[in-house]
Amino acid sequence: MTQRLRYGRDLSARIEGNYGVYRTQARTGRRLGGHCSCPSDWWPCKHVRALGATWERNPESFLDLNQVLKEMAAKPKADLLRLIGKMAMTAPECLSACGFRDFRPDENDSEVG
């Protein structure tokens, strides 16, 4: 499990599974919810459960996105635009968050990042 990230109550990680690399997301709270790009028919899948368990046992291993955003807010606009350009070239599917429909991740892809 790599690329652990926390944003409020939401968790995200890249997990190397038996059949590929999956992007797994979970929401902390009383009831664990989330999403995983793995092909499992079980819900929640073992990747979502592992992400929640990792958070419970080792929360300091997650990058706090709120802190990153706070630091980025102090950067000049030109720096932020260059950063967005680099992010889009590294992971074009991130442009779907800006409303570009043609850049939505392919549901048949097991790796989203």
Q: What's the pTM? A: 0.76
Pairing mode, strands 63-64 and 33-36:
unpaired
Q: Does residue 41 lie within any of the structural domains?
A: yes
Q: Does residue 113 lie within any of the structural domains?
A: no
- Give tens-digit pLDDT for 62-100: 999 999 999 999 999 999 999 999 999 998 888 888 888
Q: Residue 113: which pLDDT band, with cuts at 50, 70 and 90? A: very low
82 and 48 co-located in one domain: no
Q: How many structural domains are present in the chain?
A: 2
Model pLDDT, residue 105: 67
Domain that holds residue 90: 73-102
22 and 54 co-located in one domain: yes
79 and 55 co-located in one domain: no
43 and 94 co-located in one domain: no
Residue 12 to residue 28: CA distance in whole angstroms = 11
Q: In 10 A of CB 7, how many CB atoms?
A: 15
